[in-house]
Amino acid sequence: MNTPVVLITGALTGIGRATALAFAKEGARIVIAGRRDEAGQNLVAELRRLDAEAEYVNADVRHEDDVRNLVDKTVARFGRLDVAVNAAGTEGKPGPVTEQSAESYAATFDTNVLGTLLSMKHELRVMLPQRHGSIINVSSTYGQTGAPGASVYAASKHAVVGLTQSAALEAAELGVRVNAVAPGPIDTGMLTRFTGTGWPSLDSTAQTHGQARRDCANDRVSRIRQGGFQHRRDFRCRWRQNCAIGIRTSVHERFKKKDSGGSAMARASISHIALTVSDLNRSAEFYDRIFKFMGYMPALVPESTEQAMKTQLKAWVGPGYSISIRPSKGDFAHRLHDLNAPGFNHMAFYAEDRSDIDAMYNLLKEIGAQVLDPPAEYPYSPGYFAVYFADPDGLKFEFAYVPGA
């Protein structure tokens, strides 16, 4: 299956449209769905100019007959369904809870939740007998939190996350992966309608939740495209329960607990695992075969990161975290927290808040742990703040706060 068959709902605008264009550039065969025929045919023409095989189907994801017909037409045209991106969504009626109604609730949930449910139902109807496939649902950072004036929208995106997690556990044993991406503020028509003016009014809303960043649709579709193209490993790796739930960075399940001193600590998700190798090119060839078999796909390491670390890096991305390798003779390996001999370099975890780094540092001092590097900023990305430490056997760990992660 060198040419995947990709179905995208909500494909006529925003993230859905950008996703269709990204898959077309990768050579996928694409079926786009929406409710505006003229816009649909125009997008198909644009995709075909990129040498992609593309078809448009008029479908309203709120109606099961439409969704069934959409999936059936996809299979009739291309013979199978490898990837489905469920991007159809609506912002609903922004406003306080006191202004919501049964009608505004239904208008939002029918598209965002029922539409996702019906789409997955019929996509899985095809993918489960195939014993392979990848479904990517578009949630939101509001699927993890709430926001003033966004109660119904946020509730609908929480529901999308729950649907995704449940479907992932049901489908994993049959070789089908179900994941979600959780974009922050994206410069699309939906954002403009939601805020009333677009970017000028975004700052106060975004900063309330620590989300003040200027993303665009094209910046997010790489995660969707990457998830979709993982089907090329033939799904020989059957994700177990935890691995099947590939909610991306902004939807990692981060919970708070109280330690013995009563202070709040972040129960962090894994950020990455780093290995040191003696020959970078030789190991890259080896791990590329191994990691691809397990479902990890090559990731491009930014040149700025390599410059900051003063060494070359190779990386692969899987469900929830990445694995990287670096040469043992890199200029950066002289640092105490790094490793200048082949082997396990370190494992890194995300902190939920910058203050958690200092709290971890205090805990390490309290229990007498070996601190390799105290809390400090590093030039890997803006605001990157981390502490490095070792366990009693000398295994190295990183606890890092990365704004926007």
Nearest CA among 159, 176, 175 for reference residue 123: 176
Distances, alpha carbon 58 to alpha carbons 76, 208, 311, 346, 392, in Å = 15, 38, 50, 50, 61
Is 258 noted as a catalytic residue in this protein? no
Is 396 noted as a catalytic residue in this protein? no
Q: Which member of 134, 140, 250, 269 is catalytic?
A: 140
* Neighbouring-strand partners of residue 6: 30, 83
Q: Which member of 56, 142, 157, 328 is catalytic?
A: 157
| DSSP three-state, residue 8 | strand
Distance between first and last Cα of the chain: 33
DSSP 349-392: EE-SSHHHHHHHHHHHHHHT-EEEEEEEE-TTSTT-EEEEEE-T
Using alpha carbons only, give the angle 94, 86, 183 rounded to the nearest 5 degrees. Answer: 55
Q: Could you give the CA distance from residue 125 to residue 7 in angstroms, rounded to a whole number?
A: 14
- Residue 365: other Cβ atoms inside 10 A: 11
Residues 6+ apart with CB under 8 A from 76: none
Nearest CA among 68, 87, 67 for reference residue 14: 87
Q: Taking the C-alpha atoms of 235, 236, 239 and 244 in order, what is their torsion angle to the nearest 10 degrees? A: -10
Please say whether the beta carbons of 28 and 75 come within 8 A. no
The DSSP H or E segment spanning 324 is: strand 322-327
Q: How many CA atoms lie within 13 A of 144 on its CB side?
A: 22
* CB-based burial label for 342 (10 Å; 0-12, 13-18, 19+): middle
Q: Which two tokens stand for residue 43?
A: 């997008």
Is 269 noted as a catalytic residue in this protein? no
Structure letter (DSSP) for residue 319? S
Q: Which member of 56, 153, 287, 350 is catalytic?
A: 153
Q: Which two tokens stand for residue 177?
A: 């992966």
List residues with catalytic annotation.
140, 153, 157
